[in-house]
Structure 1
Amino acid sequence: MVIPKTEVDIYIGKFLNNRYLITDLIGKGGMGRVYLAEDTARGSKQVAIKILMVNLGSQQISQRFAREIFIGAQLGRKSRNIVRVLSYGMTEDKAPYFVMEYLQGKNLKQILKVEPLAIARFLEICQQICLGLQCAHQGISLKGEIYPVVHRDIKPENIFIIENTKGEIVKILDFGIAKFLTERSGMTLTDSFIGSLPYCSPEHMEGRKLLDVRSDIYSLGVLMFEMLTGKHPFQTESHSFGSWYQAHRFQTPPAFEEVNSQVKVPQELQQLVLMCLSKEVSDRPQNMSRVLKILEIIQSQLHEHQPSVSDIWQTLPTVQLVPVTSISEKECFQKNWPKNKPIAPIGFPNLLHTSQGTVPTFWAMLPQQEIAKLLDNNHSIEFIGKMHVYPMLLWVTVLYDAHISLTRWLSCFLDMKDNRGQKIVHSLAEKGYYHLLFFPLEEPTTCARVMTLILTAYQRQQLVDWLSNQKSNELITSKQAKNLLKTEYEKLKLEIVQNLAVNPQMGKTSFRNWVSNLFERFLQLLAPQ
């Protein structure tokens, strides 16, 4: 949309919802305009507002806009690496809008215009992009079901970098053309092509209906190549659909040194990028967790000179990659049950010092038969806290075997007034995983089995927020806090088991139900009469 310079913008200077004062136009596109505004209800805090500028008679455009709100409201709350939607509404002239956090910084396209990224900076930015995409791929809730989300438009313009005192924070933008992974009719927007040609996967351009998360992984591969070399991996004679399709389907990416001889890219990293750029979906890493594991190993090699990981490529994609945690897992088997702990079905947290650094663990003693049945079944991780009254959380691991209706609840309190509790919470947030050590009652001396559980991006951010926002004055005692968290825990138990029976990663539903209702209401509002 081109706006003549002489045109006066009708929204600048106006209030929306008697709250948001629009001060400036900061962006525009084919579907809408983005404005800078002040949230007068929050001390004139700056926010960004996107207003739809096209005819609402278009069902497709209406759904795209509603979808962007719905996805942004859910995912922005779960992951710090996805732009957050704060509110929505209608202007006086019946144009729909939504409010999102205002980001100050540069997008990746602006950064790459200057030079490629150094390896250390690349790894930090790329890991955050992957965490955001992993969160989307894990899905959002609609009517009590989980639907993974494919972004479908990963490109430098949609990766925003914010600088603060703690480093750089990455935000993924624009879920307007994202797609739910479901075969149900009515859930997808359109079967026609939508996307940015230089970054589309071959199957995306072919219009395959069963597009999945590996399409985003291909787009990420294009982006990673560009981040490392400063150049696109494919060259075309024109910007036509046909030229780009030929490139994505048939061109082989050039060697990194041919594109930019000044950039030295580790061999394992080159292999990762080329694997993501595989023409066939089955030849790529099958999910974002695999990409993250490889990036973590490469980072470890750079900083700690770990052994080579080139052998793991022989196992992709049919066998899951050996994560960096496998080293510390092996060390867990050497641990003995503490002499000061009873031989009984109990559990407790422990910080374990390994060659991989300090790792959070939870030690549990159970009957040997239970361990065998629970090890490879569904599980759920829950953190329950009431930080506004006392800095303590309840850490719960739920193991569930649906075949015999067996559930084991492994829980402990972490008091963050206590130095040890703080360290465990910090380690969980930093590592993003923990080892669950099983000791059988029948042979309690040594660890028999080890299970590594992964925290979601939202859980890690939640722990960080709790650590940084502790109240100095507690409103209740430690004992009262435990009773409060136990009560909350009991309320959640039935919901957790019901969720595990359907999907192991469902999580809490109250916020999701609210957003689901928002989505349905907004679709009704935007539907042509």
Structure 2
Amino acid sequence: MSQGDLSRENLLVQRYQLKEIIGQGAMGIVYRAEDTVSKRQNVAVKILSRALDDMKMIKRFQREATVSALLSERSDNIVRVTDYGVDEKKVPFYVMEYLNGENLDDFIDIHEISIPIFLDFASQICRAMETAHNGIFFEGQICPVIHRDLKPSNVFLIEDLTGKQIIKVLDFGIAKLVKNEKGETEAFMGTPRYCSPEQIQGKDLDNRSDIYSLGMVMYFMLAKKYPWDLEINSVSAWYKAHTELTPSPFSSSLKIPPELEKLVLRCLEKSPNYRPQSIGEIIQILEAIARNINNQSHLRNQSSYSNIHDNKKSPLETFLLTSKWPQNKPQQKIVFPRIFPFEKEVFPTICTMLESEDINKRKNNIRYNQFLFQSYPHPMILWLTVLYSPEDGARWLPCYLDLKTKIGQQVVNLLSDSKKYFLLFYPLDNPNKCQNILSFKVMLKQRTSLKQWASVSNMLNINHNEEAVISRKKLKEDLERLKPKIILDIEKTQTQEVHG
């Protein structure tokens, strides 16, 4: 069976409804699918892309599924495998959790990574790799697992319901199980940019090869470039870099803590004997650096609030509740963006005016948000917020952000760097005080899209402001077409907040 025969309408083993291709590699194609047995929950299905008569590929595919399944039982930082089988056409597949987020490669390209965020991400990657190196019980023995292809595109970022960013390590397709056998030289497998010297030379590998790859990933996360400036991107150039060239130190402008720079460069030692000998050793150093940074932050903020998520929430909401309806806005049912400075930070909000009774009804509604972009003929974003209950229906709160205005640019930049925004309600009969506040998460994929749209907008040369009216009209039309789908998405959810 060819891969082209697997259309979006296929129902795999009478259970998994294939919807769209979300990834493709040497071994197979990954689809987003709906599990018809489990309340149409989204899953990812990887289907082998080669014929079933290639038994070597079949065994390798089966092993990938087995290794991933066993490892994911032991670590939340490894993608979870939930099912394996062969379909009616004898094409093998396995099912994974569906990850709604983005890979680390894209995240590095779009977002700034502070030292605290780096330490969090690196520690999570390490926990996944430590689980793999500790081994799985396979064919009667404990076998350490060497990933052999650790790189940013095989690290995925998602957010949980609290907004915490979770790392998931993917693709154990070329992982090596270290058995109690004599090592031997083997053909090179992996990605030249991130592999260890011994790996690119085809030598036998142990956990320290993954530690080198981890060093490459950490260097790239911190510097947004590789340790060497290579003129040619070729296997031979990377061979020379990994085996002969000394990594460049970090630029002083990055302000990397010395102990962190030392750790990363140790991971990039040519000889495995000079690298950290285990992932556990790296975790201990990362945790010590994090503690040191937290202690310094605590000393700087003894007289203030040290953690925005834990301590600023209540004072911020108290401050927002004292705000008044702007005098330059008509006292009617409108929606508009507003920026509030508070304790040396700035927060994005949207404001609306409704009847007091309606505001009270909406306190416990299901919350929905989505961002839509119209680049032509004028760059504009629809910032959509919806409140819904079966009894009262939907309250649509669309806000249009012109990316060629100062306020539009400010709001989009704030939203792209914020994990949440606030909706402020003002009653029609008493606009001098905010009656209620609701917070909405801005998910990682949304923040990435906002940054990309802002970048596109900066490159566009707009000569006629009248074109903004056309883009606004197009977004309004898009919203009307989307409304039935949005209602369906809200009605089938089992959570209090939904993101489009």
Residues 1:139 and 2:130 are matched in the alignment: no
Report what 1:279 is aligned to.
270
Q: What RMSD in Å do the two structures reach over aligned CA positions?
A: 2.1
Report what 2:167 is aligned to.
170
1:167 aligned partner, one-letter code: K
Residues 1:206 and 2:216 are matched in the alignment: no
1:237 to 202, 209, 231: 231
1:90 to 81, 86, 89: 86
1:19 aligned partner, one-letter code: R
Residues 1:41 and 2:32 are matched in the alignment: no
Aligned residue runs from structure 1 range 15-94, under 5 A: 15-94=11-90
Residues 1:254 and 2:248 are matched in the alignment: yes
Q: Deviations over 1:88-129 (max 9, x none)?
A: 111222111000000000101001112441101000011000
What 5-or-longer segments of structure 1 have no aligned partner?
A: 307-529
Report what 1:413 is aligned to.
none
Residues 1:195 and 2:190 are matched in the alignment: yes
1:154 aligned partner, one-letter code: L
| C-alpha separation in 1, matches of 2:231 and 2:60 | 32
Shift of 1:57: 3.6
* Greater mean alpha carbon deviation, residues 51-60 or residues 200-209: 51-60
Q: Deviations over 1:160-182 (max 9, x none)?
A: 00022141000000000000112
Aligned residue runs from structure 1 range 332-371, under 5 A: none
Distance 1:234 1:67, change over 3 A: farther
Distance 1:144 1:159, change over 3 A: same
Shift of 1:208: 1.1
2:223 aligned partner, one-letter code: T
Q: Deviations over 1:453-475 (max 9, x none)?
A: xxxxxxxxxxxxxxxxxxxxxxx
Report what 1:182 is aligned to.
179
Q: Contact 1:47/1:99 (CA < 8 Å) preserved in 2?
A: yes
Distance 1:62 1:235, change over 3 A: farther
Residues 1:217 and 2:211 are matched in the alignment: yes
| C-alpha separation in 2, matches of 1:8 and 1:242 | 35
TM-score, reference length from structure 1? 0.54
Question: What is the SS of the residue equivalent to 2:110?
Answer: coil
Q: Deviations over 1:187-233 (max 9, x none)?
A: 99x92111000000000111112x10000000000100000011111
Q: Deviations over 1:119-172 (max 9, x none)?
A: 010000110000000000000001332100000000010000002214100000
Question: What is the SS of the residue equivalent to 2:32?
Answer: strand
| C-alpha separation in 1, matches of 2:148 and 2:64 | 13
What 5-or-longer segments of structure 2 have no aligned partner?
A: 298-500
Report what 1:155 is aligned to.
151
Shift of 1:62: 2.2
Distance 1:238 1:55, change over 3 A: farther
2:228 aligned partner, one-letter code: F
| C-alpha separation in 2, matches of 1:279 and 1:32 | 33
| C-alpha separation in 1, matches of 2:253 and 2:111 | 11
Report what 1:359 is aligned to.
none
State how many pairs are aligned.
295
Distance 1:8 1:202, change over 3 A: closer
Residues 1:301 and 2:282 are matched in the alignment: no
Question: What is the SS of the residue equivalent to 2:8?
Answer: coil
Q: Contact 2:52/2:90 (CA < 8 Å) preserved in 1?
A: no
Shift of 1:297: 0.3
The higher relative CO (CA closer than 8 Å, separation ≥ 6) is in 1
Aligned residue runs from structure 1 range 443-458, under 5 A: none
1:204 aligned partner, one-letter code: Q
Residues 1:267 and 2:258 are matched in the alignment: yes
| C-alpha separation in 1, matches of 2:294 and 2:219 | 22
2:179 aligned partner, one-letter code: T
| C-alpha separation in 2, matches of 1:194 and 1:11 | 31
Question: What is the SS of the residue equivalent to 2:254?
Answer: coil
* Greater mean alpha carbon deviation, residues 101-110 or residues 64-73: 64-73
Aligned residue runs from structure 1 range 111-150, under 5 A: 111-150=107-146
Q: Contact 2:11/2:17 (CA < 8 Å) preserved in 1?
A: yes
Distance 1:183 1:58, change over 3 A: farther
Question: What is the SS of the residue equivalent to 1:256?
Answer: coil
Q: Contact 1:123/1:295 (CA < 8 Å) preserved in 2?
A: yes
1:125 aligned partner, one-letter code: F
2:127 aligned partner, one-letter code: L
Distance 1:205 1:59, change over 3 A: farther
2:202 aligned partner, one-letter code: G
**Bigger radius of gyration:** 2
The percentage of aligned residue pairs carrying the same residue is 44
2:25 aligned partner, one-letter code: G
Q: Contact 2:135/2:144 (CA < 8 Å) preserved in 1?
A: yes
Q: Contact 1:198/1:244 (CA < 8 Å) preserved in 2?
A: yes
Distance 1:119 1:278, change over 3 A: same
Residues 1:227 and 2:217 are matched in the alignment: no
Q: Contact 2:121/2:167 (CA < 8 Å) preserved in 1?
A: yes
| C-alpha separation in 2, matches of 1:109 and 1:72 | 21
| C-alpha separation in 2, matches of 1:29 and 1:177 | 12
| C-alpha separation in 2, matches of 1:197 and 1:61 | 22
Shift of 1:8: 6.0
Shift of 1:66: 1.3
Q: Deviations over 1:378-405 (max 9, x none)?
A: xxxxxxxxxxxxxxxxxxxxxxxxxxxx
Shift of 1:31: 1.9
